[in-house]
Structure 1
Amino acid sequence: MSRPQTVEEYLDGFTGPGRELLEQLRALVHESVPDVSEAVKWGSPAFLHPSTGTILVMVSGHQKHAGFVVTPSTMAAFAPDLTGFETGKGTVKLPYGEPVPAELLQRMIAFRVREHEDDGVKWM
């Protein structure tokens, strides 16, 4: 299979709980940043700042979880809130079939937008 060229093509590679969770994350980003644009970067959906084109957030689908990807500085700012999640340098693992921590992710997205707009923090 060829690499997806659009976010829609990427999502078409998933079914069931995986597709459902990725769609929820996509909707959450669009709700949080209404003018965000989408692109496939490094093979995964990326959501870009409306005026600068800088990546704000990425998502990725895996066998048993979705990845919600932000900057390490965003992860550090929310470390106390993420203790119940498996995390990496810039990634929160969200297992399929479990509730999306929407309020937490919305706060992380808002932080990421602010750190980019106010502090000039680019992508990794």
Structure 2
Amino acid sequence: MAQGEAVTAYLDSLPPTARERVELIRARVHATAPGLGEKISYGILTFTLDGRTVCYTAGYARHVAVYPLPDVSGDPDLAERMAPYVSGRGTLKFPHGAALPLDLVGDVAAAHLARLRGAGTA
């Protein structure tokens, strides 16, 4: 199955609320970094830059998630904004029924892009 078909199949498999919210996250990540690629990795939607993973998003019955947490050691403001959503060791979890912090999602994607660019990827 081609990657585009795999992404469509993944989105089609999500419950309606999860799909709507994953699509909002997807749009914000692409607005933050036009030209990113997409694929399915680990069974979830993966955003890529030059073949390297930027971040992941997934939809579930009760929440949507963004993985992994970016390194925020130099950005206490971003760390503070992420704190209410941190779940486990590397997940931002956004429950359905609560506002989706799309500005935060964009900033998380931007932090991952900065990491990749700092590594000489872009």
Q: Is the 8 Å Cα contact of residues 87 and 93 (structure 1) preserved in structure 2? A: yes
Partner SS, residue 13 of structure 2: coil
Change (3 A) 1:76 1:8: farther
Contact 1:75 1:90 in 2 (8 A): no
Q: How many residues align?
A: 115
**Equivalent residue, structure 1, for 2:21:** 21
Structure 2 regions of 5+ residues with no counterpart? none
For the 8 Å contact 1:44–1:60, the answer to whether it is kept is: yes
CA shift at 1:72, angstroms? 5.0
Partner residue in 1 for 2:97 = 97
| Per-residue deviation, 1:88 | 2.5
Q: Is the 8 A contact 1:74 1:108 kept in 2?
A: no
Task: Give the Cα separation in 2 of the matches to 1:34 and 1:20.
Answer: 20
* TM-score of the aligned structures, taking structure 1 as reference length: 0.81
Pairing partner for 2:68 from 52, 67, 70 = 70
Structure 1: 4+ residue segments shifted above 4 A: 74-77
TM-score by length of 2: 0.82
Q: Is the 8 A contact 1:68 1:93 kept in 2?
A: yes
Change (3 A) 1:18 1:88: same
Partner residue in 2 for 1:82: 82
Q: Kindly, what percent of the aligned residue pairs are identical?
A: 26
User: What's the Cα RMSD here?
Assistant: 2.2
CA distance in 2, matches of 1:104, 1:111: 10
Letter in 2 for 1:68: V
Confirm or deny that 1:41 pairs with 2:41.
yes
Would you say the 8 A contact 2:15–2:60 is kept in 1?
Answer: no
Tell me, which stretches of 5 or more residues in structure 1 are unaligned? none
